Amino acid sequence: FDMFVLAFVERLFRPTFRKDDFVLGKKLGEGSFGVVYRASLSKKRASDDGEYVLKKATEYGAVEIWMNERVRRACGNSCADFVYGFLEKSSKKGPEYWLLWKYEGESTLAGLLQSKDFPYNVETIILGKVQDLPRGIERENRIIQTIMRQLLFALDGLHSTGIVHRDVKPQNIIFSEGSRAFKIIDLGAAADLRVGINYIPKEFLLDPRYAAPEQYIMSTQTPSAPSAPVAAALSPVLWQMNLPDRFDIYSIGLIFLQMAFPSLRSDSNLIQFNRQLKRCEYDLTAWRKLVEPRASPDLRRGFELVDLDGGIGWELLTSMVRYKARQRISAKAALAHPYFDRQGLLALSVMQ
Ligand code: ADP
Ligand code: MG
């Protein structure tokens, strides 16, 4: 009850917006559930500072607003800075929801990963180059450690709030120039199990490139959303039983893999990798045995990187990318994994 009163009061004192307040800029994205634009205010307000991102969404926008409001209050640093959400109009096509965020910057992890200079391009934007190590896998590993720590930190925030993202992928990770850290965006497919919101309709397609093999997060024993009060009482138990957060961990594991192995960064190679892994029954160690003997120099370099420091990176990777959700490490446990526990990291963490 308090939570709703707080939410209401907080909202009363925040600026409100409507359609005519905005001038739309460049289109940033378009999915089946909405269109995303860069936007600015048509008439500058006294409190206004700068640029926004505006999403026009279909009926699913209502849930996305709800998720963003919740994240904003509970774990604001995990996700892009949400400003406001409202119902604009109901057309023949159904309701149209508008969602507004602060513009965080131009770089998604997807864009950064596609550059030949990855991960040094990230080192530059996070730290402005300060490393004394020569270029090579050790330095690359340190940068990847920093990125992984930021991603797990953001994800742990969401999971501790009771939210599963379900669409974690490089396209949904933005580098926030203001906080000099990666944040998660796009809560359009997220589920909040503690309050019983939201169960995506069955026909909703998860991104097959990054989705864990279980596909649907809740087991078939919990086919529909219970009403809110019942869910609030039950869902911590459901959470424990089903470990729905481990769906996101699998996706983060694939991102780790792509960062460490340049040859797996392209879509086509990731899809091929997924096929191979499936044939290996999602056993990463079996996959390694399959491909390592005939590995390209690029692939071999990836294994070298994860094998640094006694193979601690490979250990973390294999504890994320596993067939059974319950055998995957949690975001919180991953943050405490010895992969992140190295002297050289101190220099990086001081900067954050
Ligand atoms: P969808 O995937 O449903 O089209 P997203 O919320 O993922 O919508 O946004 C689409 C794209 O817009 C992102 O991949 C990113 O490039 C950009 N974007 C979204 N939110 C922000 C933000 N707060 N700051 C800067 N860019 C953003
Ligand atoms: Mg997206």
186 CB under 6 A from ligand 1?
A: yes
Q: Ligand 1 centre and the CA of 222: distance in Å?
A: 31
Atom 7 in ligand 1: residue holding the nearest Cα: 186
Q: Is the pLDDT of residue 208 over 60?
A: yes
Q: Do residues 177 and 104 make contact, with C-beta atoms less than 8 angstroms apart?
A: yes
**Does residue 58's CB lie within 6 angstroms of at least one atom of ligand 1?**
no
Testing ligand 1's pocket by substitution, the residue of 38, 174, 182 carrying the most ligand atoms inside 8 A of its CB is: 174
Which of 200-209, 233-242, 246-255, 282-291 is predicted least confidently?
A: 233-242
What pairs with residue 94 in β-bridges?
91
**Model-level pTM?**
0.89
CA of 24 to the centre of ligand 1 (A): 14
What is the set of active-site residues?
167
Average pLDDT for 252-266: 97
Please determine, for residue 98, whether its predicted confidence score (pLDDT) is greater than 50. Answer: yes
Residue 20 confidence class, pLDDT cut points 50, 70, 90: confident
Report the atom number in ligand 1 closest to the C-alpha of 101. 23
Q: Can you give the pLDDT at residue 45?
A: 66
User: Ligand 2 center to residue 190 CA distance, Å?
Assistant: 12
